Structure 1
Amino acid sequence: MVASLALMTGLTACSSGGGADEDAPLEDSYVVATDTSFVPFEFKEGGEYVGFDIDLINAIADEAGFKVDLKTTNFDGIIPGLQTGTFDIAIAGITIKPERAEKVDFSDPYYKSGLRIGVPVDNEDITSVEDLAGKNIATRLGSTSADYINNNIDGAKAQTFEQLDQAYLAVQNGTSDAILYDAPNVAYYIKTKGEDSLKMVGDLLEAQDYGIAMAQGNENLVKAVNEALATIKENGTYDEIYKKWFGEAPPSE
């Protein structure tokens, strides 16, 4: 009988360790993945990672009561890293899409974006998305804009790059005809680095919501992040961060 009880206890202990615990308490810290070149959301400046997303996740962590262990990776490695447990949380201008939501959990939306076209300043032939048909279009590897090019622009070739600077340089040196990417990033790049060489054309395409991605299975973490996000929106912290990086108050919802 003693041997049987010991065996049953051992089996119970082994079985309790498998799978994610939806009711797990919050940890003291979480590994948070971000990209390194999505200005003004996350980028490196003076040896430190800065940007809208960086300030936002730190404010959420302070409110929720956990510390951020920041790790950087290429954008296309973020969701696989969440799936394998390399990362717990990710914030990198990640558009909430149904196919992504099958692989990771998302917070409530924290930023509404869309896609914009950037072309050389002397280009008069491309003024709208219709003019991109059959063109070589630079964008970031693994992005929703790459999907948009492949699925919506006839005959166009999506030229994808791991680093966004490479995509912009491809347009500047004539390797690509245009860049199609997230509107705030295109605007910020042209304002700060490409003012004399690039311009934006056309309308805002594909309105998108950004969300904070989390490894599946921890409902308490998702709840804590959402509650903290709601609190910093209510107490003005979110508005302060938004104005710091975009120069104006966020649009009213």
Structure 2
Amino acid sequence: MKKLLIVSMFFFALILLAACGSDEGTDNASNGEEGSEDLLTQLKEEGTVTVGFANEAPYAYQEDGELKGAAVDIAQAVFKEMGIEKVESKLADFGQLIPGLNAGKFDVITAGMAIKPDRCENADFGAPEMQYGEGLIVQKGNPLDIHSYADIAANPDITVSVMAGATEVEFLKQMGVSEDQIQTASDIPGTFSAVASGRADATTGTEMTVKMALKSAGNDKLEFVEDFEQPDIDGIPSYGAAAFHLDNDKLREAYNEQLAKLKEDGTVKKLLEANGFSAEGNSVPADITTEAICSGEIK
């Protein structure tokens, strides 16, 4: 009986050790760093990466079934250097990009998304790829001589049309534009219509978005203000970057490594310019880092 008890205790100890070993293995497998290394390896082996994007030219958009845009071109160039040739795209509403990333629908987001401290809590941004500010559209000839938000604030008779829910509403208010000067429309074509018909004197939005929208609209009653003075407020300029799942450190680091090389050899500037951006004005200064933006040091 005594021998039987000892043998039973021995086997129980073995089972307990095995169970502990199994738990440790499970924890390691779910560890973010190891999981990210597995994803990087998987993408390289498959040669395919899935990217989430929102339809907003010229950052990332779909045309004739093909994914295009500055953010797309930069991402494709980077992944090619990483040995990942094929980019599969998935369209999503802008507000669903980070949730989709965290749900595993995408391996990466490439939409020129602005790095912001609150977004940094839910996604890991790569190094900044582009910078951009605001743009202003006025009636042809700029009859009221508007070149800044300050000009709008200084003349209470000027009205500006803005897409409902856009950040520009708060930007205008911060620059002293009164609420009764601000109209809203459901979309960018609606704001253009307001200015072209004389119901508003100007409209504003993200620089390249309104510039490209005007080009597509072909409305000869309107013009883009080339010498627009960017407002000196938090959030301007914005810095766009690819974004990764919080657990995918290895993938993000590998991406950043190749991105740095493409910045250094001038490829990123060429890709920006090819998509209508300014090679100099929209390139990110070397001292701007994702860490500084996420921490709020750069606003």
Moved more, 1-10 or 118-127: 118-127
CA offset at residue 247 of structure 1? Answer: 7.3
CA offset at residue 192 of structure 1? Answer: 3.4
* Higher fraction of helix: 2
CA offset at residue 83 of structure 1? Answer: 3.1
CA offset at residue 214 of structure 1? Answer: 1.4
The 8 Å contact of residues 146 and 158 in structure 1, kept in 2 or not, is answered as no
CA distance in 2, matches of 1:144, 1:42: 19
Task: Select which of 4, 17, 20 maps to 1:5.
Answer: 17
Indicate yes or no: 2:113 matched with 1:90: no
Cα root mean square deviation, aligned? 3.2
Q: 1:207 to 1:22 in 2, by over 3 A?
A: farther
Give 2:220's aligned amino acid: D
Give 2:72's aligned amino acid: I
Aligned to 1:196: 220
CA distance in 1, matches of 2:250, 2:185: 36
Structure 1: give runs of 5+ residues left out of the alignment: 162-166
The 8 Å contact of residues 23 and 219 in structure 1, kept in 2 or not, is answered as no
Indicate yes or no: 2:274 matched with 1:244: yes
Q: 1:88 to 1:151 in 2, by over 3 A?
A: farther
Q: 1:113 to 1:140 in 2, by over 3 A?
A: farther
Aligned to 2:92: 73
Could you say which structure has the larger radius of gyration? 2
Q: 1:160 to 1:34 in 2, by over 3 A?
A: farther
Q: 1:75 to 1:224 in 2, by over 3 A?
A: same
* Higher fraction of strand: 1
CA distance in 2, matches of 1:144, 1:223: 31
Indicate yes or no: 2:36 matched with 1:24: yes
CA offset at residue 111 of structure 1? Answer: 0.9
Q: What is the TM-score with the length of structure 1 in the denominator?
A: 0.80
Indicate yes or no: 2:204 matched with 1:184: no
Aligned to 2:132: 113
Same amino acid, percent of matched pairs: 25
* Helix, strand or coil at the partner of 2:36: coil
CA offset at residue 229 of structure 1? Answer: 1.0
CA distance in 1, matches of 2:104, 2:183: 30
Indicate yes or no: 2:67 matched with 1:49: yes
Q: 1:150 to 1:90 in 2, by over 3 A?
A: farther
Deviations, residues 216-239 of structure 1 (Å, cap 9, x unaligned): 122212211111111112233223
The 8 Å contact of residues 149 and 172 in structure 2, kept in 1 or not, is answered as no
Q: What is the TM-score with the length of structure 2 in the denominator?
A: 0.69
Aligned to 1:222: 252
Q: 1:241 to 1:158 in 2, by over 3 A?
A: same
